[in-house]
A and B are shown apart, each in its own frame.
Chain A
Amino acid sequence: MRYLGIFILSMIFWLLVTFRFTLPNIAAGVVASAITAAIFGRYYFHNVGKFLQPRRWFWFTVYLVSFIWACIKANFDVAYRVLHPAMPIKPGIVKVKTTLKSDFARTLLANSITMTPGTITVDIIGDEMYIHWIFIRSEDPALYTRMITGRFEEYIKKFAE
């Protein structure tokens, strides 16, 4: 079942990239996807049934919108810090606790944190994420955990866990 999931995903990806719906092209796509599924199939998708729940797609859309918004904000934030003559930075590495359990959800959270304003994920050890922050706004762990993981953690929990 999980082999089928990755086969369909890589097939969709092939069709999007090549964007030609002729028979030889589709046949080549099938062969390439089959090889991909045979090699990487056992690493991903421990529960394919999750893809079929509309509730998860809804939260995925919410997450996507807030993610894109955070990306745009991050850009202006970095541009502001770079262009400001005095360079308002106060960098450091902080430790943040995450409540997410699955590897996939944690990867997504780490990626989202990297794209949000001023933060970049350095490492995950156990339940703790180490995050480089360009401007530490608070010294209180509970407060900065909420600032960094923010809404992403609850959205990701709703669609990926």
Chain B
Amino acid sequence: MAAIILISVGVLFNIFGCLGLIRLPDVYNRLQAATKCVTLGCCSILLGVLVHFGIGGAGFRALVAIPILFFTATVAAHALVRGAYHFGAKLDKRSVKDDYREEVK
């Protein structure tokens, strides 16, 4: 039962993340949705797998995957955001501040 709840919550948050990818205006905001919702959604699914299989075998591997997912997701997000900025992706017109522009020039 707990496994089903955890996996459902994870899938739900992954859907929110995908909705964010479509609805939000620019690269930077979309990556926000992609990193946060999708990472924790996947963590929730992995925890569900752990509860389902119990300690040992597949369950334990799911637990080990969580910290790896966290580190890779954050590093990938940073690399994508930085790459997008240097490539010249514009910030949305609703943006109110850009301190990074002077530094890059």
Contacts and interface: CB of A to CB of B under 8 A. Distances in A.
A122 B97 contact: no
Contacts of B29: 89, 91, 134
Interface in A45-80: 71-72, 74-75, 77-79
A74 B96 contact: no
A19 B61 contact: yes
Contacts of B32: 78, 118, 120, 132, 134
A67 B14 CA distance: 20
Contacts of B75: 111
B17 to A, nearest CB: 8
Contact of A132 (B28, B36, B70): B28
A122 B100 contact: yes
A111 B33 contact: no
B23 A114 contact: no
Contact of A72 (B35, B40, B57): B40
Interface stretch (A26-34, A36-44, A92-100, A145-153): A92-100
Given A19-B61, A82-B33, A120-B32, A94 B99 contact: yes
A121 B81 CA distance: 8
23 contacts: A16-B64, A19-B56, A78-B20, A78-B33, A82-B23, A82-B33, A83-B16, A91-B29, A91-B91, A92-B96, A93-B91, A93-B97, A93-B100, A94-B97, A94-B99, A110-B74, A111-B71, A114-B77, A115-B35, A120-B31, A122-B78, A123-B100, A123-B103
Nearest first, the 5 closest Cβ-Cβ pairs linking A and B are: A92-B97, A95-B99, A82-B20, A111-B74, A114-B74
Interface of A: 13, 16-17, 19, 71-72, 74-75, 77-79, 81-83, 87, 89-95, 110-111, 114-115, 117-118, 120-123, 125, 128, 130, 132, 134, 136
